[in-house]
Structure 1
Amino acid sequence: MEFGTKKFTFNPKEGIDNPLMVITEESTPRPHLCVLKKEKGETYGFHLRVEWVKQGHIIRNVVSGGVAGRCGLEDGDRLLEVNNVYVVDASHQEVARRIKQSGQHLCLLVLDGEAFDKAVAKKQDLRDLVKAYKSENLKPPRLCHITRDPILGLGINFTPIGAEKGCFAVNLVQGGAAEKAGVRKGDRLVWMNGAVVSDLTHSALSRMMKKCCKYITILVIDSESEKKYTQLRMPILPTMAVPQNLPYRSRKIDLDLAPEGYGFHLCFEKAPSGRTAHVLRNVDTGSPAERAGVRDGDVLLEVNGESVELLDHDEIVRRVRENDQHVSLTTIIPQGHEFYTQLGLSPLLFCEDDAVKMESCERICATQHCRQNDSVCSSKSRLCFLQKGPLGFGFNLGCMPQCPGTFISEVAPGSPGKNAGLTMGDIVIEVNGQNVEDKSLEDVIMLIKEGGPCLSLLVKDKEDYDNLRKTDLLDISNNEGEETEVSRL
């Protein structure tokens, strides 16, 4: 039998019906994931730039053989996501800040420069490229802080999954402390108190649990999302997490300069733990610092959005003073600074988001037909900062039998509580950033005692609180030595 090659004659009238005519659509640009892990003292080995002639956040000066270079990052790549957060529309400062906060582990989703420019020229939605890469939206992990219940304990234990080391399913006590802290049935454990559990045996994990006295902080994710992260070879990091019930958060403070200055001293101090930090001290009564909510002992984290961790005292003072009329500070109470340090996380990761609070207030105001700047609206809730005096904070707490909610039952004249604006009958919403609406009086008292000499209370007038509870409008976001240098600012 003779075999021959069948020939086709091209006929332009036949167009795509001609079997030899192959028309291919231009392929969709595909992002690629770069997972960077550096050792202590090492840099990631690239620069992040914004250039006038090009759009996007551009990767430049990738060090050959460095962390970024080994992980596939190339000069000209454009950032789409940092730690699972879309950043194309974010400012350069915000993107750089997210990268710096990542610690030793960083996850970048990038698109090569040529593909990025073509997509922008075609007005293609870059979010669609991200969604196509992931197939569908990934649910973020949750960072949950669990405080031990006197009766039910932590309300959680872990079961190994199969024979593979480091895979643990979460078991919950219904209504227990873990469930209240945001842990869900079927979750997988990723991280506990700063330690990744992937290399731990069940016995090692059990020993860690036994060492936990009053609380633990864990990173969890639902089982389906864990599978998707694994398929994409994407790490599950605390920097990607949604915070749940965290006891401390950093906060941003804006100060306008007065003739006598900002009204505080900047001190470089050594904490009892041996760690050094720049601390705000001697806040003047009636000063811009006091009016903005600066508390004696606050640890300084940022000046005008720039981290001060690696700056010396004189350089920080210069940055505070370089703007003649205004400065923005990011601070956290000493206990919070110690909390994040022990977890190996940046205290800047989870900040009290003023924008979220503003949106919350606007939603409440829209429903009640009032303007954001009305005095009625601004008086809905109050954040009060107290520094313990010789006789304590100067207030008592009370609760109604069989009713949720703790209230201020008494405020001593001239006490820190009175000076901070507490009034008898105020309902306590948060203690040091932790929501306590459903906690018992004993739990609230314990949280206050554990907070040390500095205390932050979010309170609300009882009548307003009752009205908002009735209409389900309440929307409060659960969202702390040796002095070597001092400067008055």
Structure 2
Amino acid sequence: MEAAADLQDTALLTPRFEFNPKLGIDNPVLSLAEDHDPSDLWRLERPRFCLLSKEEGRSFGFHLQQELGRASHVVCRVEPGTSAQRQGLREGDRILGVNNRVVEHEDSEVVVRCIRASGPRVLLTVLAQHAHDLARAQQGSAALLCPTLSPGVRPRLCHVVKDEGGFGFSVTHEHQGSFWLVLSSGGAAERAGVPPGARLLEVNGVSVEKLTHNQLSRKLWQSGEQVTLLVAGPEVEEQCRQLGMPLAAPLAEGWALPTKPRCLHLEKGPQGFGFLLREEKGLGGRLGQFLWEVDPGLPAERAGMQAGDRLVAVAGDSVEGLGHEEIVSRIRAQGSRVSLTVVDPEADRFFSMVRLSPLLFLESTEAPTSPLNTCSASPVETKDPPVKDTAVPPVPSGSRQCLLYPGPGGGYGFRLSYVASGPCLFISQVTQGGSAARAGLQRGDVILEVNGFSVDGENDLERLQQLAEAEPPLCLKLVTRSLQDLEAWIPPESVEEWTGASELL
């Protein structure tokens, strides 16, 4: 015990890092997140910032789970060797903020949606479990601990186009990686929204942190007639310093961007929506969902859809990484009024270059929410190549069937419990916004069959484990029972959990 006390005292006496924009480390998140000393109680008792990034086709490397009975979002697993582990995310951490948004009291569906909509980079504000519990006991909420930038005080993503005076700025620097811009009055950079005295953070999506002045000059020259700069004005730098926040790209607002995502609102007419949705390879060979054969005069064309647009969100919810069938199911769930967010090829190339999601730069963040329809969703007149219909055959009275497709993390989004002393498997938890919720599963639903196999025997769990790994979709036959009914005839000590409901992010 004495050794532990000495270790704690030593940690608390260690001089803390203070960010000086002209002398210190360029990005505070690198210092704050890469210090993994478990004895650093000072760091763990305060909110931490984890700036995560992922490669194409990969995840950030952590699993998120909502705490039962609370609006608390728990990191329940961190994958080794991933961005989440490298940036100091820990099992048990509570997520307080996503980018510049406080999410402590948001539904799990909203938090997952915010993280996925952030694209390849996201800034998480997290708090260790013990500090979170203490804050709740003292203040009733940990949300008050989550620092955010003031409205209008954010880094800027500025697209600068050369004119007769060039880009309209010169670069000063103190040492490698620390650059500030001196603007020409009325020049191209000033017109593009670059603030006076701005610190330069990125050029065309590449950090300048490790560049020399000569390397930066060469990079600007190679940009040609236009360049996209991530910058932070003095006010932003000062507020980030006071809050301990990094000058992170996902916090940026767009200024004079050459292109933006488009929100299309379609209402189905007598001849349908009038477009075809097709999965094919796009930039860098990555799979995406593209819109083709837009019929003249039909709702899709009237809404502004163009052939070759890539679909990035349905009802404001990112569809990056989802399969074709899952996306079609989400569109069908909207019925006759569909809200789609798309990017044309030029916008796709631009946002891929700056490594940010186009959804961060929507003019309006409000979008219709996707209804939690049952499995018999309204068919979509998209002129798709034939897709397996989500309509299911008739079932006996009192029961229903649902088809489930796995989400991006491979799970179906529900927790299954079973009664060891009797033939009863039931849904004890449904992840909001997950595949199960969209298919209409509810807490208390009792499972009668899985993929045509009855679940009333001794080998049910073994069979379910095998079926869950089978090719999707997963077909469940269910009967609805209220949780009160279940509690009335199921002894609590006989109930066991089969699987956890968490989201891989």
Pair in the same fold by TM > 0.5: yes
Closer, same or farther: CA 355–322 of 1 in aligned 2, 3 Å: closer
* Cα offset, 1:308, TM superposition: 3.3
* 1:81-480 equivalences in 2 (<5 Å): 81-103=97-119, 105-113=121-129, 115-117=131-133, 119-120=135-136, 124=140, 126-131=142-147, 139-149=153-163, 151-161=164-174, 164-223=175-234, 225-226=236-237, 229=240, 234-269=245-280, 277-353=288-364, 355=366
Deviates most, 108-117 or 244-253 = 108-117
Deviation at 1:258, TM superposition (A): 3.4
SS at match of 1:44: coil
Unpaired runs of at least 5, structure 1? 1-26, 357-489
Q: Distance in 2 between matches of 1:66 and 1:109?
A: 18
Separation of aligned partners in 2, 1:137 and 1:327: 31
Change (3 A) 1:270 1:73: closer
The residue that corresponds to 2:69 in the other structure is: 53
Amino acid at match of 1:80: L
2-structure distance, mates of 1:340, 1:272: 11
Q: How far 1:242 sits from its partner (Å)? A: 1.5
**Correspondences of 1:14-25 after superposition (within 5 Å):** none
**Distance in 2 (alpha carbons) for counterparts of 1:135 and 1:30:** 21
CA shift in 2, pair 1:178/1:66, >3 Å? closer
- Check the 8 A contact 1:256/1:325 in 2, yes or no: yes
Q: Distance in 2 between matches of 1:135 and 1:148?
A: 31
Partner SS for 2:202: strand
Q: Check 1:325–1:355 CA distance in 2 against 1; reply closer, same or farther (3 A cut).
A: closer
Cα distance between partner residues in 2 of 1:104 and 1:282 = 30
Question: Offset at 1:259?
Answer: 4.0
Q: 1:215 to 1:70 in 2, by over 3 A?
A: closer
Report the CA distance between 1:94 and its aligned residue. Answer: 3.6
Correspondence for 1:32: 47
2:54, 2:83 within 8 Å by CA — same for their partners in 1? no
* Code of the aligned partner of 1:333: D
> How many angstroms does 1:351 deviate by?
1.4
CA distance in structure 2 between the aligned counterparts of 1:139 and 1:240, rounded to whole angstroms: 10
Report how far residue 272 of structure 1 moved: 8.7
Tell me which moved more, 32-41 or 152-161. 32-41
Question: Corresponding residue for 1:402?
Answer: none
Taking a change above 3 Å as real, the CA distance of residues 38 and 147 of structure 1, as seen in their structure-2 partners, is: closer
Relative to structure 1, the CA distance from residue 137 to residue 323 in structure 2 (aligned partners, 3 Å threshold; closer, same or farther) is closer
What is the percentage of aligned positions where both structures have the same residue? 40
Larger deviation, residues 221-230 vs 336-345: 221-230
The structure with the larger Rg is: 1
Q: Structure 1 residues 355, 277: closer, same or farther in 2, change over 3 A?
A: closer
Amino acid in the other structure paired with 1:344: R
Check whether the contact 1:255–1:262 (CA below 8 A) recurs between aligned residues: yes
The Cα RMSD (Å) is 3.4
Aligned-residue offset at 1:213: 2.1
Distance in 2 between residues matched to 1:138 and 1:176, nearest whole Å: 23
Aligned partners of 1:305 and 1:328 also within 8 Å: yes
Deviations 1:104-137 (A, max 9, x none): 5443222344554554566656454235xx8999
> What CA distance in whole angstroms lies between the structure 2 residues aligned with 1:34 and 1:354?
24
Relative to structure 1, the CA distance from residue 245 to residue 93 in structure 2 (aligned partners, 3 Å threshold; closer, same or farther) is farther
Q: Match of 1:98, SS?
A: helix
The residue aligned with 1:79 is: 95
**Equivalent position of 1:411 in the other structure:** none
The one-letter code matched in structure 2 to 1:73 is L
SS of the counterpart of 2:360?
A: coil
Secondary structure of 1:317's aligned partner: helix
Give the drift of 1:92.
3.2
Cα distance change of structure 1 residues 103 and 297 upon mapping to structure 2, 3 Å threshold: closer
1:413 — aligned with what? none
Q: Distance in 2 between matches of 1:260 and 1:218?
A: 45
Cα deviation digits, residues 430-464 of structure 1 (max 9, x gap) = xxxxxxxxxxxxxxxxxxxxxxxxxxxxxxxxxxx
Say how many residue pairs are matched.
Answer: 324
| CA offset digits 1:35-56 (Å, max 9, x no partner) | 2445636533322233441123
Q: Is the 8 A contact 2:123 2:250 kept in 1?
A: no
Q: Distance in 2 between matches of 1:71 and 1:269?
A: 34
Q: CA deviation at 1:336?
A: 0.7
What is the alpha-carbon distance in structure 1 between the residues aligned to residue 281 and residue 252 of structure 2?
Answer: 31
Q: Could you tell me how far 1:186 is from its partner in structure 2?
A: 0.9
Distance change (3 Å), C-alpha of 1:284 and 1:178: same
> In the superposition, relative to structure 1, how do residues 49 and 270 fare at CA in structure 2: closer, same or farther (>3 Å)?
closer
Q: If the length of structure 1 is used for normalisation, what is the TM-score? A: 0.58
Cα–Cα, structure 1 residues 261 and 51, in superposed 2: closer, same or farther, change >3 Å? farther
**What is the alpha-carbon distance in structure 2 between the residues aligned to residue 108 and residue 354 of structure 1?**
19
CA pair 231-144 structure 1, distance change in 2 beyond 3 A: same
Residues 180 and 290 (structure 1), Cα distance of their counterparts in 2 relative to 1, 3 Å cut: same
**Aligned AA for 1:61?**
R
After superposition, give the CA deviation of every residue in 1:261-320 in whole Å (9 maximum; x if it has no partner): 221112345569866643222323443323433233322112344433323444433432
Residues 143 and 219, structure 1, Cα contact 8 Å, conserved in 2: yes
Task: From the superposition, tell whether residues 186 and 116 of structure 1 become closer, same or farther in structure 2 (CA, over 3 Å).
Answer: same
SS of 2:146's partner is: helix
Alpha carbons of 1:152 and 1:135: their partners in 2 closer, same or farther (altered >3 Å)?
closer
Change (3 A) 1:70 1:135: same
**In structure 1, distance between residues paired with 2:260 and 2:105:** 25
- Quote the Cα distance in structure 2 between the aligned partners of 1:72 and 1:208: 31
Specify the SS of the correspondent of 1:267. Answer: strand
Following TM superposition, by how much is the alpha carbon of 1:200 offset from its aligned partner in structure 2, in angstroms?
Answer: 0.6
Q: 1:214 to 1:257 in 2, by over 3 A?
A: same
CA contact (8 A) 2:120 2:357 kept: no
Partner of 2:391: none
